[in-house]
Structures are given as C-alpha cells and as structure tokens.
Amino acid sequence: MKKYLVMLAATAPLLVACGAGSVSESDVESTTKDQLAADPEIGDSVEKVECPEDLKAEKDETMECTATVGGQEIAITLTVTKVEDDTAEWTITVAE
C-alpha cells in the first residue's frame, strides 16, 4: 500500500461557522491531485480527484475519495495526521 503526505498551508482557513475546522472539498481535491501528480510513478496521468465533502481538520479523521489515473478510477483514503494553527496535514493511501 503506497502512502503520500500532503500538507495544506494557511491559504485555506480551517475554521467554519459551526466552530469545527475543515479544509474545503475543492482545496482537498486540488492539493491531493497535485501531490499524486508529483509522484514519479503516477505523474501526469492524474486526471482528477473527487471527494464527497470538506475534510474535517481533526487528527485521525478519514475520508474516501476517488482519483482518476490514466483513465482508471482508483480508491484513495485521506487520513489527517496533524492539525496545527491554520495548517492540516494528511496522508493519501492508494488502494491496491
């Protein structure tokens, strides 16, 4: 199982009106796509990443998303590993 580390900087605020933190769906999708595309095994074959909602900025929070790579849809799991100030980090686990 291959894992990737993604870090989203303060450009996306983590606080939402209800008081809970989250990273917007569009920021999660674009940042995850960019990180996957940076991997030499995947590279430019990443066409898109689709996630169902915002990612809660809480340690150990997970979300299932889909990446389209070379015309094939693959399941990926995002897991938040760290939240500090306005920054969330998560890993990407690609299903085999």
Domain map (residue ranges) of the chain = 2-94
Over range 83-87, report the average pLDDT.
78
Q: Kindly write down the DSSP assignment for every residue of 53-80, as one continuous string.
A: SPEE-STT-EEEEEEEETTEEEEEEEEE
pLDDT per position as a tens digit, 25-38: 988 898 889 888 88
**Sheet containing 46-50: which strands, arranged edge to edge?**
2-8, 87-94, 72-84, 62-69, 46-50
Q: Kindly write down the DSSP assignment for every residue of 7-21, as one continuous string.
A: EE-TTS--B-TTS-B
Is the pTM higher than 0.85? no
Band of pLDDT at residue 81, cut at 50, 70 and 90: confident
The token duo for 23 is 């990273």
